């Protein structure tokens, strides 16, 4: 038996013991990671350099891109490195950092999405007060409050997890350090600890979810009163990407943490973990860029300018 004072490392669950499949896992995860990295960076840069997009909605979208980059960078690179080097180990301190950072980025993601729902509510339901309510100072304060409060929540969440003693081995049935899987290794019955964490997290996430639902009930009620079909379509088009992103994050996260932990198989846990930790950061840039004409235009200009600059440099070098 070993407790948290003598635990030096954990062993993460691999996707396969076959070397060829490990390499395939590395290649697939690398492609998904690069797609997420490029997509979120392009959105961040396009908004940053385009002054027409310096509005509250795009300011929060920049925050979302940063958080998505952080979220996927916490879990995927370590899993890729383990597959490439045919190892499963992660140090105790790295596991603590992974739990904290993933909780931070995932929770902040949901907090920013909640603020974005409020932004859409004010823009559509109270358009005359939008400039006053959603001014630059207010936007910065809301974003900062979200980041700080989530930092404190993640610190408490992580501290509560690693305050327990581990004597059930060091094999974590997941490709990254996930709290429900770590609680399986506790010396004593961790049901109370798990229930406490679950209830606390559910209260926070449910509050955000209820706020988003109430906001959109008000939004849809207002939009349906707009006499112009073009006006209704324009209002809906600014809300659809946000609704899809919220639904994706909520559904995958809820399924992952509300399924029976001790009765689920390792294979199912791996698939579900990929769905809620890899899919949302990768899909968010695609969802927002597909439905947003302004953002698509900014991205087209950005990519076109890069290609033009590269071609211009090539012509210069050939002369």
Q: What is the pLDDT of residues 298-316, one digit of tens each?
A: 777 777 655 444 544 444 3
Band the pLDDT of 29: cuts 50, 70, 90. very high
Residue 295 in any domain: the answer is no
**pLDDT grade for 59, boundaries at 50, 70 and 90:** very high
Q: Measure CA of the first residue to CA of the last residue in the chain; give whole Å.
A: 72
183 in any annotated domain:
yes
Q: Tell me if 301 is assigned to some domain.
A: no
DSSP string covering 171-190? EESSSS--HHHHHTTBSS--
Return d(Cα 45, Cα 57) in angstroms, integer. Answer: 15
Domain that holds residue 60: 9-287
Residue 58 placed within a domain: yes
Averaged pLDDT score across all residues of the chain: 82
pLDDT in tens, 89-131: 899 999 999 999 999 999 999 999 999 999 999 998 988 899 9
Q: What is the pLDDT of residues 229-239, one digit of tens each?
A: 777 777 777 78
pLDDT for 291: 64
Q: What is the DSSP letter of 166?
A: B
Average pLDDT, stretch 200-226? 87
pLDDT of residue 68 exceeding 90: yes
Write out the H or E segment, with its range, that includes residue 80.
helix 56-85
Q: How far apart are CA 61 and CA 45, in angstroms?
A: 11
What are the φ and ψ backbone dihedral angles of 165, each rounded to 5 degrees? -95, 140
Helix (H, G, I), strand (E, B) or coil at 207: helix
Strand ranges inside 63-213, DSSP E: 89-91, 171-172
pLDDT of res. 200: 77
Task: Establish if 135 belongs to a structural domain.
Answer: yes
Parallel/antiparallel/unpaired status of strands 89-91 and 9-12: antiparallel
Task: Give phi and psi for 171, each to the nearest 5.
Answer: -90, 110
- Give the angle subtended at the CA of 109 by the CAs of 107 and 110, to the nearest 5°: 70
Residue 136, phi then psi, degrees to nearest 5: -60, -45
Q: Rounded CA gap, 9 and 175, in Å? A: 14
CA distance 82 to 90: 9
Residue 136 sits in a domain whose CATH number is 1.20.1070.10
Residue 29 included in any domain: yes
- The CA distance from 123 to 130, in Å, is 6
Tokens matching residue 284: 């968010």
pLDDT at 69: 93
What token pair was written down for 253?
């996260």
Residue 230, number of CB atoms within 10 A of its CB: 8
Domain count, the chain: 1
Residue at 165 is within a domain: yes
pLDDT of residue 265: 54
CA distance 312 to 194: 59
User: Within a domain: residue 191?
Assistant: yes
Collapsed DSSP state (helix, strand, coil) of residue 147:
helix
Q: What CA–CA distance (Å, rounded) separates 68 from 39?
A: 10
Q: How confident is the model at residue 266 (pLDDT cuts 50, 70, 90)?
A: low
Average pLDDT over every residue of 14-33? 88
Contact (CB, 8 A) for 154 and 103: yes
Closest CA to 83 of 33, 24, 37: 24
| Sign of the dihedral defined by the CA atoms of residues 38, 44, 48, 53, in that order | positive
- Strand (E) or helix (H) holding 12: strand 9-12
């Amino acid at each position: 038996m070993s407790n948290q004072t003598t635990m030096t490392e954990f062993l993460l669950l691999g996707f396969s013991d076959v070397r060829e499949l490990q390499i395939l896992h590395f290649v697939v995860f690398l492609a998904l990671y690069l797609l997420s990295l490029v997509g979120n960076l392009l959105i961040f840069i396009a908004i940053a350099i385009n002054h027409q997009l310096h509005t509250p909605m795009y300011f929060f979208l920049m925050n979302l891109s940063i958080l998505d980059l952080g979220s996927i960078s916490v879990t995927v690179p370590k899993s890729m490195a383990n597959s490439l080097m045919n190892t499963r180990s992660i140090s105790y301190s790295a596991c603590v950092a992974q739990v904290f950072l993933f909780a931070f980025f995932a929770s902040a993601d949901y907090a920013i999405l909640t603020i974005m729902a409020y932004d859409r509510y004010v823009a559509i339901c109270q358009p005359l007060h939008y400039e006053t309510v959603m001014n630059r100072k207010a936007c910065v304060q809301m974003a900062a409050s979200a980041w700080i409060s989530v930092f404190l929540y993640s610190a408490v969440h992580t501290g509560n997890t690693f305050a327990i003693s581990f004597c059930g081995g060091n094999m974590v049935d997941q490709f990254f350090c996930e709290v429900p899987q770590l609680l399986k290794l506790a010396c004593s019955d961790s049901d109370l600890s798990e229930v406490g964490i679950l209830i606390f997290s559910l209260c926070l996430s449910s509050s955000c979810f209820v706020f988003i639902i109430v906001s959109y009930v008000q939004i849809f009620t207002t939009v349906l009163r707009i006499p112009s079909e073009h006006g209704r379509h324009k209002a809906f088009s600014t809300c659809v990407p946000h609704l899809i992103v919220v639904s994706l994050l909520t559904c995958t996260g809820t399924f992952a943490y509300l399924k029976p932990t001790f009765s689920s198989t390792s294979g199912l846990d791996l698939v579900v973990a990929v769905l809620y930790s890899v899919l949302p950061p990768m899909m968010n840039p695609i969802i927002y860029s597909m439905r947003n004409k302004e953002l698509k235009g900014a991205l087209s200009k950005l990519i076109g300018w890069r290609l033009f600059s590269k071609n211009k440099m090539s012509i210069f070098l050939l002369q």
